[in-house]
Structure 1
Amino acid sequence: MGARITNVLITFDTESILNDYKNLSRDPKNPTPISAKYIYMVTNGANAISGQAGGELNLKASVNDVIRWREATLTLSSDDSALMYAFVPTGGANLISPPQALLSTVTVPVPNPSNLTTPNFETIKDFFWNSIALDTGRVTYHFHFMITDRYGQVKGYCKWDPYITISN
């Protein structure tokens, strides 16, 4: 069996973060640590060891698997947006390739109000982080992310610390 792509969707509850953390860092080099209770990480059920839909997803991967992380907010960016801007390994950094922020162009369906069974299509930029599992063990890391409002103003810089387990 060849390498798999394991997708992880990270959803941020930006409204609650902004309500509960009144003084978020304005310095991208010194983000405010955020409780995992504001973050929901989801992957295919077979790839989750524990923590599915929580902020501390323990993800299973095999050597040579590709891991991709994407972010969203509960409002799908209609009010606030979250954008991950740094991956900082805190343990097991040699177990995965340095994650890269990648941007690709994809075509997605959008509702057609005049005929909901025939969607329109738009070309958009798809942003994700990409890494390859290189060895077995446990990787701990921080993802740094910013929260912006609908006008593009940065409301603060944050971080939290999930982990990955790589096994064969």
Structure 2
Amino acid sequence: MSQRITDILVAVDIESLLGSLNKTQGEYNLVGGKYIHMMTYDGTVISDQGGSALNISAEIGDVIRWREVTLSADSNYSIVLTEFSHSFGEDLEKYLTKASVIPTYKYIPVLENINPLKIVPATYKVQSHYWQCTVIDRPESGKVTLQYTFKFQVFNNIGRFMGGGMWDPYITITAY
């Protein structure tokens, strides 16, 4: 078994879809794919780099991780992926382990001065997370396309809940 880690960055255009979100906490509206942009390393992408349904290559033992950010880099709004679930079609659980949230930290450089920019040789620690699953099987021949649902919540820059949304991307796993 190989173990390649494929990191997928999910960048969401919150400013454009804000009016489409469900304003009730815990409820989600389906949002258009044109607002979602998923990206990964060129070596793993098959097609749709920057689209809402990224098509990547994956082998048994590969780990797939999703992280989220807004196009404004969280300055106006922040996004949290809150749920990963099976949509329809092929049996997701046959090919992927159940996705789980993995807590982690990121380290942000400390700015001493903005003009001129001066970075202090230190960082501060911020709690973070990502969603992760592992590829556990591949088709004998051809490929299998697995559709799943990601739900997310949006908060403004003072922490107020702004709404919930969801979309149905897919992953394709190909035979040897």
Whether TM exceeds 0.5 here: the answer is: yes
Residue in 2 that maps onto 1:13: 13
Structure having the higher Rg: 2
Cα deviation for residue 104 of structure 1 reads 1.1
Contact 2:78 2:156 in 1 (8 A): yes
The CA RMSD over aligned residues, in Å, is 2.0
TM-score, normalised relative to structure 2: 0.85
TM-score, normalised relative to structure 1: 0.88
Q: Which runs of 5+ in 2 are unaligned?
A: 139-143
Residue in 2 that maps onto 1:131: 133
Cα deviation for residue 51 of structure 1 reads 0.7
| 1:159–1:115 CA distance, 2 compared to 1 (3 A) | closer
Tell me if 1:66 matches 2:63: yes
Cα deviation for residue 71 of structure 1 reads 0.1
Provide the C-alpha distance between the structure 2 equivalents of 1:115 and 1:35, rounded to a whole number of angstroms.
39
Deviations 1:131-164 (A, max 9, x none): 0011123221010001111121211111001111
- Give, as a single letter, the amino acid of the residue that structure 2 aligns with 1:9: L
| 1:2–1:110 CA distance, 2 compared to 1 (3 A) | farther
Q: How does 1:97-136 map to 2 (within 5 A)?
A: 97-113=97-113, 116=118, 119-136=121-138
Provide the C-alpha distance between the structure 1 equivalents of 2:118 and 2:163, rounded to a whole number of angstroms.
38
The share of aligned pairs that are identical, in percent, is 31
- Give, as a single letter, the amino acid of the residue that structure 2 aligns with 1:162: P
Provide the C-alpha distance between the structure 2 equivalents of 1:107 and 1:37, rounded to a whole number of angstroms.
31
Contact 1:108 1:123 in 2 (8 A): yes
Provide the C-alpha distance between the structure 2 equivalents of 1:59 and 1:162, rounded to a whole number of angstroms.
12
